[in-house]
Structure 1
Amino acid sequence: MFEALRKMILPIIIIVLFFFLGMIVLQWGLDITRRGPGANFDAAGMVNGEEISWSTFQRTYSNLYQNERGDSDEDIPISRTQQLEGQAWDQLVGELLLRQQADKYNIVATDDDVYLYLRSNPPAYLRQAAEFQTDGQFDYQKYMSYMADPQAAGLWASIEPVVRADIRKIKVQQLVTEAVHVSEFEVKQAFLDAMETIKVGMVNVRSSSLYETVPVPEKEEAREYFDSHREDFTVEERVVLDIVKSSKQATEFDEERARITAQEIQDSANAGADFADLAMRWSDDVGSSANGGDLGWFASGRMVGPFDSAAFAMKEGEVSSPIKTRFGWHVLKHFGYKNEAKSQSDPAVVKKAHVAHVLIKTRASIETIDQAWNQIDQFHMLAGEEGFDAAADELELEVIRTDPHIAQSRIMQLNGDQEALEWAFSNELGAISEIRETDNDYYVIRLAEKVPAGLAEFEDVESDIQKELRTEKLMRLCRDTINVLHKKVQKGTTLTKAAEELELKYDISQSISRAGGMPQVGSDPKAVGAAFALTTVGQISEPIEYSAGTVVFELLQKDTPDLTLYNDKHDSVFTAVVDFKKRRAYTDWFEHLIAQSEIISNVTGEVRRR
């Protein structure tokens, strides 16, 4: 069929399609997220010697950006755009790796494959196309009619390469997972795990409940522990950074400009302009602007302080002067008051106001951002010519020195920008970065110090030791408390009575399964396993120390699965187990594939070699 379609191609349309295959694992954390400022590379990167062009990267990123933004007029924060850039890069790397594997194993998509795929599994972008919908819903019959229509040959021919690429990826996945085997034992065990339920009583002493009773260990105790475990305390290589920032945040000038805009809106409304039109055109409140700024009826106390005060002080028909809140400048129009019952269950009468508003947010102006850029750009140039400190002194900019940081830490002064640390660990002492940015600042960093890995000094680990010692004491107290309880039970006291005597809480769970976890202990495998190991109603477990404390269980009810249902459920359970094992097999394979590949990213400059 597709051979015939290719012969009937009509130069009618060119369709640009962005198709992202929603398979098990494509987007992996390669820690490659962003092109550094000033970079000038011919390609976004390479995967095993094959280029990913900047245009391909930009198309993929733009699609993710538009999907994230949706219909909102709000800008996406810099920190989130960096994440989207990373997702775009990871996605392209995943797509290319799969295509390379398809080439390696000579995997092809035949014409029959393409036809059957389109017929049995219409892609989402086709399901959403207006040509294939009736009353807003995908119309399969209309879709099939298009497939048979020679006049639509251009459409199908333009889609064909994308579909063939998708089919090849699917076949790679099938090749990877075809060896997955599921035994009858695994199916039955999965059935039992899902269907077996228990109801337990428990006394659970969590370390968090005793936190205030155990003080932070004194410095002398921490020092004694440090000295006796000296070899246990090592530190990774760390870096110290010097940071110079230039703020992009709104200035007093920007604040005043927002107030003037709000004042102009008030003047326009008082001069006769339609308030709803003003709100739809000017308001930054995306939740109400489409409705002419109408906020409906609300009682006092529902809005932020200054707004609320004004709303209940105005007269019907009045337009307010600009009101400042933490959200920006508001201009209110009042439509009146009414009294009504607080709720159906509370007949108390409350006064409500009906108000519309225009919100003008205070944003950094283009001039403010340009000024910030010019300042940091001048600093960066001078730092290269005269030195980092001299440039900061000349421009009267503060140099912020950080504490030592390991590679996985978070630098609060840079809003946790992980790329700054990646840059620092890959450069030499004294190196000066390109200009970087966070949501609030432009900044330049200098690698001030590299602290080699080795044995830690006490001052570096003192707080960690104190936390560890305190945790040990808390867990020991949990264990000792439950042991006292358990000894009482062993001497014949019921668990409920023993808990009462020790002023501990005895809780009864709902009916729970292994997969659902347990109240208070969550899904901790040690605790859950101990509870399900109980076989006889009334049986009490040994004290179980788990990640958050110590617990003891009493079996109150155990519902063994009805094995007569096993045959009925067998196929669905088998499918679920197969799917799980295939996902795990594919995940492991894909992770290994990444580890064995040479990936060079000009998005951040990172290189991942075999």
Structure 2
Amino acid sequence: MLSLMRKHAGSWLIKLALGAIVIVFIFWGVGSYRAQRENRVAVVNGAVISLDEYRAVYDQLIQQYREQFGDSLDENLIKTLGLKKKALDELIDRELLLQEANRLGLRVTKEELARAIQQVPAFQRNGHFDQMQYERILAYNRMSPETYEARKAQALIMERIQALILSCIKVSDAEALETFKWREKQVSFKYVLFKPSSYQDVKPTPEEVKTYFSKNKERYEIPPKVKVRYVTFPFKEFESKANISEEEISQYFELNKEQYATPKKVRAQHILFKVPQDAKQEVIDSVRKKALKVLKEARAGADFATLARKYSDDPGSKKKGGDLGFFTRDRMVKPFSDAAFALAPGKISEPVRTRFGWHLIKVTAVQEAKEPVLAEVSDKIRRKLVKDAARTLAYDRANEIYDACYAAGRIDSVAEAYKLNVHETPFFARTESVPGIAMTEEFARTAFDLEENEISEPLELSDGYYILEKIDQKPSTIPELKAVENRVRKDLIRDRQQELASNDAEDFLNCLKAGEEFEKEAGKRKLKVKTTDFFKRFGPIPGIGFEQELINAAFSLTPSKPLADTVIKGNEGYYVICLKERKAPEEKEFEANKSEIKSRLMLQKRQECMEQWLAGLRRHSDISIEKHFLE
């Protein structure tokens, strides 16, 4: 059954843009996973979350992020995004939601279910629900109407309980104002930076290097290594075996027309009159008057491109006469797009205000929205369906070979019988790259989890499926000092430099705490005092960059307590900081942005509320996760 499920999950049919269908399908699967498999990754109050369920959700997450990041989605990004944990958390949260909804007795009536299904765009033709379309799409996805409707009802129940939980959340004007003040407040500070790299006189003796090594041997431990043989099933090699009919292309096109429609585009020139984000109203008005003068010239017949080269503050388009090329509505900030898309070709807008300043916009051409034509996108659809089908074929072949390898107890004899190439790695550590392997971390994790001579199940990586057999391993060892002496010496020098910089920073800070003036004490020590420009809580520090501990410390300073209590370690070294000035935002700026602030705060509060509510459910639930599952 797993093979069947993975086969259909990998096919293009399951990847249709069906909105709620895909959600229902992915999160509850085809048939009852829990009854089909005994293997599990977690248990939530007695309800089992199976490995198959997890894989379905994880695969869907990978697909979503691959569409967003493309080839940039490598193993490091997957790890950074925490997609493995995210997939499991989604399953646990959904199980908790359903259990709580059941406890509260939440139900969905037949009428409510029917209305929800009829509103799914994929089931509609010409804006109306189409029963034949509905049945055909479900049939393509190997799902009966009864199964889909039962799961859609569960999805609606989940939506209902979430709405119930979040219905009491409100955001007052006072709350929004407080948030605005907190977010928009600005500070500047003066500081002295103690850079470890400036301490160049550190020259450790051979005896000191030896002592340092003996105290830190674990730093230089050579990790355990393994060697594996493996066979591969690259997706590319199965593309030639994927037979996609014209009917399948046509069906996919009909179900996904909106993906291939060409949205309306305009081509425009603009002249930007920049306004600082913290500008006072008189400055904003003054810049607008300048824009109006230039507008008068433009409408009197002056060449717009010449005016843009002369007046525009946009370095990206100024030299091109303000030309921005063609763009869709979502490519520009809303006020700019609204104005541009409302203009006829040749017309020039009144000054338009955005967060960048005032704009004069001239539309030079318009490309109207265009409905897609199958003939124009047929090749593109075919390539997509071929790739999806190839993944399915590769998976089926990998499972067939795995069954044979499992029965034989080894890879090489099976590979010879099936005329497959067998590859063998050199010894590699868990964190080392493996020649020829795209997603080394997943490959290494699987290899290290195997017992000697054990064969892995098919492992899906970015370029295909792999079956591994561990053939040898080496335990971890501590090298002789001679083999790592240069590295040890560099580490010792670095640690000494860090210590010296930290000590000098602490000594300087202690003198300031004792009452010495910042600039005066720095002058005595021949230290350079620098001052930052104003910056906000969520922006970079001018001249320094994003240093979260520094930012946190700076915003904790007050006129009555301007000196930071501690030395702050940053990327460049050790900082001693003192408040220079604080600047509060003007309340009239709040009034202009109140609606947006309240919407953002509402979204944040809803998210926090949901997270806290689920955390409460987790605390009072019996949840067990299989040992080492997420390692």
TM-score (norm 1): 0.47
More helix by percentage:
2
TM-score (norm 2): 0.46
